[in-house]
Structure 1
Amino acid sequence: MEIAQRRDVLLKRRAELVGHLERVENELDQTPTKDAEDFSTERQGDEVLEALGHAELNEVRRIDAALGRIDAGTYGECLDCGNEISAARLDILPDAALCKTCAAKSG
């Protein structure tokens, strides 16, 4: 896959995430119910949405970093060892900053 295609994939995913984050934020901003039982259920749902929002925000940050590496001409180079990140890995994780070996060491 060419760099332009990878950029398009990253931008599309970023737009999906930002759209979903906006929906999550709107959902969390809704006025809670006054019924204690419903409030408890809503609060549990809010906690799930908050956790999902944090995970998605982290993914947006990784995508932004990958787009920055594309602009800098370093996309596809491992940030730790400098070796090339395999095309297969970038196909699965287009925001990958580490090669498979370095990712295994840090994970």
Structure 2
Amino acid sequence: MIREISLALIKLHILYHATRQAVYGLALIQELESHGYSLSPGTLYPLLHKLEKAGWLAAEKRVVNGKARKYYRATETGQAALLEAQARMRELLAEMDEGRIIPEEGE
């Protein structure tokens, strides 16, 4: 179950960064590592392909320093999905904050 939650959060990270600028696999792996996620290319690229197939990402091939890279940008559909997810997350976090599922010290 925790893996499913982590994968959902990773997808949101991908969409967020792909909304801000075009991103490629290795850069995403490094960015996700800075947030505590350890992803192999064998995990990341299928996620990118699923998001692309769903119409949330658009891919563009570029040659950088003689190497072919596939860059991804969020589509309008992907941006709309991210905004909806953001609203739902805000609602959930506010609810969790009110209910405090983990008691604070002294409670």
TM-score band by shorter chain is 0.3 to 0.5
The structure number with the bigger radius of gyration is 1
**TM-score of the aligned structures, taking structure 1 as reference length:** 0.36
Q: Where is the strand percentage greater, Structure 1 or Structure 2?
A: 2
**TM-score of the aligned structures, taking structure 2 as reference length:** 0.36
